[in-house]
Amino acid sequence: MDIIKIIGIGFITLIITIILKEYRKEYAIYAVIICGAIILLYSLNTVTSIVNFLEQISKNRSFNTDFISCLLKITGISILTEYAVSICKDSGESAIANKIDFGGKILIISMSIPIIGTTLESLIQILP
C-alpha cells in the first residue's frame, strides 16, 4: 500500500531529523523539506490520475469545468498552505506560519466566491 511507503519515508525522516538535531540543528529543517518533496513527488502520480478522472467526468457529463478547476485549485492551495505552515512551525517560526495560514485562507475564500454565488443563485431560483 502507498500509505505504508509514505509513513515509512516519514519515520525515516523523523529518525534522521532527531539525529541531526543533536549534532547539526540547522540541517534538520532541510531533512524535513526534502521529505516533503519526496512524498509530494511520490504522490504526483496519484494526483495526476485524480485530475484526469475529474476531467473525463466533466467532459462526459454536463458539469461546469470551471467549478472543477476551481475546486482543484482550492485543494492545491490548502495542501501547499498546510505544508508551508508545518515547515514554519517545525522551524519554530509560528508567527510566520500563522501569516501563511491566514493568506491561504483568504485565497481560498476569494476563489470560492464564484461557486458560492452560483449556488446561491440556484437556491433562489428553486425556492419560491
pLDDT for the residue numbered 60: 73
Helices (H), the chain: 2-23, 25-60, 65-90, 94-126
For the chain, the first-to-last Cα distance in angstroms comes to 51
pLDDT over 80 (residue 49)? yes
The pLDDT assigned to 40 comes to 85
**What's the angle, vertex CA 41, arms to CA 35 and CA 44, rounded to 5?**
140
**Burial of residue 122, with CB atoms counted within 10 A of its CB: 0-12 exposed, 13-18 middle, 19 or more buried:** exposed
34 versus 56: which is more confidently predicted? Answer: 34
Distance between CA 128 and CA 117 in Å, rounded?
18
Residue 48's pLDDT is what? 86
User: Average pLDDT of the chain?
Assistant: 87
Q: What is the pLDDT of residues 74-104, one digit of tens each?
A: 988 998 999 899 888 888 889 999 999 999 9
Amino acid, res. 63: F
Q: Is the pLDDT of residue 105 over 90?
A: yes
What local confidence, expressed as pLDDT, does residue 111 receive? 92
Domain boundaries, the chain: 1-62, 64-128
